[in-house]
Amino acid sequence: MNLFFCTCAQRSGSTLLTRILDSHSRIAAPFEIPMAGYYLNTSDQNVGLDKIIKISKLIGVPPTLALDDPKRFFAAILAHEGKETLVVKEPTNTRHLPRIFMDFGDVPLIHIVRDVRQVGQSEALIRAYGSAKRAMMLWLQYNLDAVKYHSYFSRAYLMHYEALTARPEQTIKDLVTYMGHEFEPAMLDYWLHDHSDDKLTLWDGMKPSETEWARDLYQGKIAAKVREPSAEVLEIYETTPQMRSVNERFGYR
């Protein structure tokens, strides 16, 4: 089993990326896969375990397998998808990179990042967390962990949302090569492929087509969603030096 972990902050393009990867004949990135054991005794425990229970029903294994033997759980997902490489993506996994290293060793990573000034414009994220500042601070927390802990891993691939949407063919070709596969042009038309995520209700109890979090997936094209940062977002950015420093570290000016 070939295994990759995809790390990210929310609203950074990870679902778009995994939809494209899932459209490859040998790569499975079928839905968000939380690490069940990492959710225990946290405020998000019910959210994470609910996803695990639904995934387990789909693939026909007991949900306790995700707790007792995550590698066998991953293998069961791959068997269900009929593929050979699995991408494990769930934003909160980014907060647990040391545990991932302890549990899975030097597993290859894919980190997708987006300019925090664009993340701060996300209406869905602002509604979920109450303000642009909280949304941007969440981006900072996740990406600080990525910067801090990626050094544990000898293979960590950085992707920018802006490159994915502006130059999707070359960007995906480079990533798929890193993953040890041949690029398949048809994967860019991800909306023409079947995805197990569409059979489940992992998005706050809804299917992805029913929620604003994933609405852009169904527009039938790969396109950047760019808005001019508001005065509020720019003020938060300019008055939070650590945020600006991390953003610049990823190449944003």
- The percent of residues above 90 in pLDDT, for the chain, comes to 92
Whether 94 and 142 have beta carbons less than 8 Å apart is answered as yes
Alpha-carbon distance 19 to 188, whole Å? 9
Amino acid identity for residue 169 in this structure: E
The DSSP bridge partners found for residue 113 are: 160
- Provide the CB-side half-sphere exposure for 230 (13 A, CA): 12
pLDDT at residue 224, as a whole number:
81
Alpha carbon separation from 25 to 20, 30, 59, 95 (Å, rounded): 11, 12, 19, 30
The domains found in the chain, sorted by start residue, are: 2-249 (3.40.50.300)
pLDDT at residue 130, as a whole number:
95
Amino acid identity for residue 23 in this structure: S
Q: Which pTM was predicted?
A: 0.96
Full DSSP string of 144-171 = HHHHHHGGG-S-EEEEEHHHHHHSHHHH
pLDDT at residue 232, as a whole number:
97
Alpha-carbon distance 30 to 15, whole Å? 10
Whether 54 and 35 have beta carbons less than 8 Å apart is answered as no
Alpha-carbon distance 124 to 132, whole Å? 10
pLDDT tens digits for range 89-111: 999 999 999 999 999 999 999 99
Q: Which residues of 211-249 are buried (b: 16+ CB within 10 A; e: fewer)?
A: eebbeebeeeebeeeeeebeeebeebbeebeebbebbee
**Digitized pLDDT (tens) for each residue of the chain, 253 residues in all:** 999 999 999 999 999 999 999 999 999 999 999 999 998 988 889 999 999 999 999 999 999 999 999 999 999 999 999 999 999 999 999 999 999 999 999 999 999 999 999 999 999 999 999 999 999 999 999 999 999 999 999 999 999 999 999 999 999 999 999 999 999 999 999 999 999 999 999 998 999 999 988 988 998 999 887 889 999 999 999 999 999 999 999 999 9
**Which of the 8 DSSP states describes residue 206?**
B
Q: Which two tokens stand for residue 31?
A: 């839905």
* Angle value at C-alpha 143, between 204 and 203, nearest 5 degrees: 10
pLDDT at residue 226, as a whole number:
85
pLDDT tens digits for range 158-195: 999 999 999 999 999 999 999 999 999 999 999 999 99
pLDDT at residue 216, as a whole number:
86
Residue 153, burial from CB neighbour count under 10 angstroms (0-12, 13-18, 19+): buried
